[in-house]
Amino acid sequence: MKSKEIGKYALLAFGAMALIYVWFAIAGVTDLGNWTHGLRNILTGVIFVFLAQLVTGRSLNHPSWWPGIVIFYFWLAALSYIEVKSGGTWGVRLEALNNDVLSLISALVFIFLLEYIGSRDSHMRAILGLFNFLLIGYLSFSIFVYISYYWIFGAGFTSNDMISVLLTNKQEALEFLQSHMGLGVLALVLAIFIIYMLLVGFLIYVGSRKEENLKPLPHTLACKIITGVLLIASLVTMNHCIPRIFPAWPYRVAHKYLADAKAAMVHHDDNLKKLYFTGSTPETLPGSVIVVIGESANRNHLKAFNSDYPAETTPWFSSEKNNPDFYLLRNTYSCYPLTEKALSMYLTNLNQYNELNRDEMITITDIANKAGYNTCFISNQAPAPGNMALELVSGASKKRFTTPHPGGDDMKVMDYLKILPKVGSNFIVIHLEGSHDRYRDRIPPDFEGIHIDGHSIKENDYDSSIMYTDNVLKNIYQYAKDNMNLQAMVYCADHGEDMKSFHGDGYFTWDMIRTPGFVYLSPEYKMGHLSVANHLKANEGQVFTNDLIFDMVCGIMGAENTAYSQTYDITSAQYDLTWENAVSKFGHVRVKDDPFHVKDYSQALTNKE
């Protein structure tokens, strides 16, 4: 093979991948220079396409490439545009398209190689052509649906939307399409899709035709081996990535969510029948109670909790921590360094000390509903399959909202807070994306973050996300205080974060469970609940694990019930968690062994006495 042909193949492979990269830039996809989820994938595409041309002797201009090229550019161009538009002012980073890019690169090469094999083997031609037609048909139908959904709603299709689809019957689906598209438009879309697929079928036919005077390639055995490797690599990549893109991934998440929710509700309904207040039915507070779930916040990085930290990462809370209406829970720990497991206890009567199991679960929203509050759940996180506690909390809420682009700007939760009633008794749970990795994805492009000399880019990004969360909390607090008669506000992260090991089930560090926590009680609330305020102040420096938030919030609402215990309520005189018995990781870690707080441990014992 002449060097001129090799150079041509390399140039065409590079141009094909560069073209989609240029489109990403035009569409507004950001972070294009990222190696792991950007440049590396494109380089992989260049290598795969180059080798496929080299071993077959067919350049990208050959008809065998055309069917794959059509779906490759159609999918990535349409999806990237919609994702950017759905992302609001943030747009979308290339990382979010990682699985789509890898899926379509592998599909492009795989489809071509099947076309090539079919053109050389008449016995395989029909079956390989049919496989390509079905693969392209599946991908094409998926992107047609995605485009149609964006056309109707102006946003991309999320797991939450799939939940709604799975809960919709055929009649409701038809009525929906008639209402939003009309039968005429729907027929037009279907006609366009049919014509498109006929074109795909024609391209597959042309691409797999036997060529006259077809000459065998040199080094045939080597070419066959490389072709086999490319086929296997493409198939493995598709098998891994296609289930992680639309529509398979939203379906998987939504199906798991609904299955777990259904199973949870069987026991939950029985638990609610047994639940009752141990005293008289509590009076609802004349305003709002807000619980904010943070994400991946290590309190050592919060200036308000660690005065030695070299940057002011919490300008708002640092200014408020000496406010007598705020209570700094400076010795708070997560019950588990993993979101799903931490939240299984965070807002429920389950904790590490009472030996209850998940079949006995009662949520704080259940208590608020029973007490007569208007309950609401606002989330900037996508549904988490298997997180039964959150499913019950959100499902029991009378109103629930998820931001249009979960995982994006946490400030979007304000849009939903502002549409809630300004009068009456509200109980609101807000779930933030906080400082979940990648940290830079939590920060708006125009936000002036933290830059500490000597710290890595990752650590500065993390600190910037902490600072942005501080700003979000400020906005939640200020709006609710000014407009919703805020009575109480509780904030605590689900778990901490280690700058090297992050967080998770495996390797453990103390940074993974050191979490920030604070409580705000309004002057009006304290006047009517002086003992709660006094006990909280007395216990402010004691050790606290976030699996006891249920009991604390019950205490704040004055809602003592059969699922509540004063010994786990930090607002009670009977609060009995000490450094000797406090644990994490479901009892496998003793909090008193944390070396960072040895001096605080001694001081806490003195204060307790």
Residue 333 has pLDDT above 80, yes or no: yes
Task: Count up the domains in the chain and report the number.
Answer: 2
pLDDT (0 to 100) of residue 37: 77
Name the residue range of residue 347's domain.
287-608
Strand partners, 291: 429, 490
What would the mean pLDDT of 448-464 be, rounded to a whole number?
Answer: 95
CA 526 – CA 596 distance, rounded (Å): 33
Whether residue 448 sits in one domain with residue 511: yes
Average per-residue pLDDT for the chain? 90
CA angle 431, 418, 439 (to 5 degrees): 35
Least confident of 63-72, 275-284, 310-319, 591-600: 591-600
505 — pLDDT class (breaks 50, 70, 90): confident
175 — pLDDT class (breaks 50, 70, 90): low
Residue 361: alpha-carbon gap to chain centroid: 24
Whether residue 193 sits in one domain with residue 325: no
What would the mean pLDDT of 117-128 be, rounded to a whole number?
Answer: 92
Whether residue 321 sits in one domain with residue 191: no
One-letter amino acid at 209 equals R
pLDDT (0 to 100) of residue 425: 98
Domain harbouring 593, CATH code: 3.40.720.10
Whether residue 604 sits in one domain with residue 462: yes
Residue 94 has pLDDT above 70, yes or no: yes
Least confident of 155-159, 415-419, 432-436: 155-159
pLDDT (0 to 100) of residue 167: 67
pLDDT (0 to 100) of residue 600: 52
- CB-based contact 112:65 (threshold 8 Å): yes
What would the mean pLDDT of 378-403 be, rounded to a whole number?
Answer: 84
Q: Which SS3 state, helix, strand or coil, does residue 433 take? A: coil
Least confident of 143-157, 320-334, 485-499: 143-157
As given in the structure block, the two tokens for residue 221 are: 């055995």
Whether residue 308 sits in one domain with residue 205: no
Whether residue 293 sits in one domain with residue 158: no
Whether residue 556 sits in one domain with residue 445: yes
Which position has the higher pLDDT, 563 or 178?
563
CA 293 – CA 378 distance, rounded (Å): 10
CA atoms 185, 91, 14, 233: torsion sign: negative
Whether residue 198 sits in one domain with residue 242: yes
- CB-based contact 164:266 (threshold 8 Å): no
Residue 266 domain-assigned? no
604 — pLDDT class (breaks 50, 70, 90): very low
Residue 380 has pLDDT above 90, yes or no: yes
| Residue 185 neighbours by CB under 8 Å, 6+ apart | none
Give per-residue pLDDT as tens, 71-87.
999 999 999 999 998 87
Whether residue 158 sits in one domain with residue 26: yes
pLDDT (0 to 100) of residue 601: 42
Residue 273 domain-assigned? no
One-letter amino acid at 393 equals V
pLDDT (0 to 100) of residue 217: 53
Checking DSSP bridges between strand 517-521 and strand 326-328, what pairing results, if any? antiparallel
Whether residue 152 sits in one domain with residue 225: yes
pLDDT (0 to 100) of residue 507: 83
608 — pLDDT class (breaks 50, 70, 90): very low
What would the mean pLDDT of 434-449 be, rounded to a whole number?
Answer: 90
Residue 604 domain-assigned? yes
As given in the structure block, the two tokens for residue 168 are: 């919709």
Whether residue 317 sits in one domain with residue 248: no
CA atoms 174, 178, 184, 185: torsion sign: negative
Residue 13 domain-assigned? yes
Give per-residue pLDDT as tens, 190-234.
999 999 999 999 999 999 987 765 555 555 778 888 899 999 999
Given the structure tokens 């545009």, which residue do they identify?
81
Burial class (CB in 10 A: 0-12, 13-18, 19+), 550: buried
As given in the structure block, the two tokens for residue 474 are: 């400020």
Residue 23 has pLDDT above 70, yes or no: yes
Whether residue 554 sits in one domain with residue 423: yes
Give the H or E element holding residue 237: helix 220-241
